[in-house]
Amino acid sequence: MLNYIFVILIVLSFAAYFYYKTKQFRSTLPIRKKWYKAKAGIALGAFIIAFGLNTCIVYFIIKRNNSVLHYRFVKNGTKQKPE
């Protein structure tokens, strides 16, 4: 469930980054360009943080599941269905 939340955050933050970058290039006022550049930077930071946290969560879930299956196989000597 937490993985889906991070995927949604990744997509939204990337869309926000792309939106603010295009607004920055289309703007004519220098102060607005700086404003949109700052917002695009925040969206890019949110994208990187969400991507990193999602990677960590997926890695630890896979690592935990593999170690549990390996422990059951070695302990009992036969493959058992995980609970």
Q: What pLDDT, on a 0 to 100 scale, did the predictor assign at position 75?
A: 54
Number of domains in the chain: 1
Within a domain: 43: yes
Per-residue pLDDT for the chain (83 aa), expressed as one digit of tens each? 788 999 999 999 999 999 999 999 999 999 999 999 999 999 999 999 999 999 998 888 777 776 655 555 555 555 555 55
Within a domain: 82: no
Containing structural domain, residue 26: 2-76
Residue type, 76: N
d(CA 2, CA 17): 22
Residue 27 corresponds to which tokens in the numbers above? 């703007």
Q: What pLDDT, on a 0 to 100 scale, did the predictor assign at position 68?
A: 54
d(CA 12, CA 81): 38
Within a domain: 39: yes
Q: What pLDDT, on a 0 to 100 scale, did the predictor assign at position 81?
A: 54
Rounded to two decimals, what is the model's pTM? 0.72
pLDDT in tens, 4-27: 999 999 999 999 999 999 999 999
CB 6 within 8 A of CB 57: yes
Within a domain: 49: yes
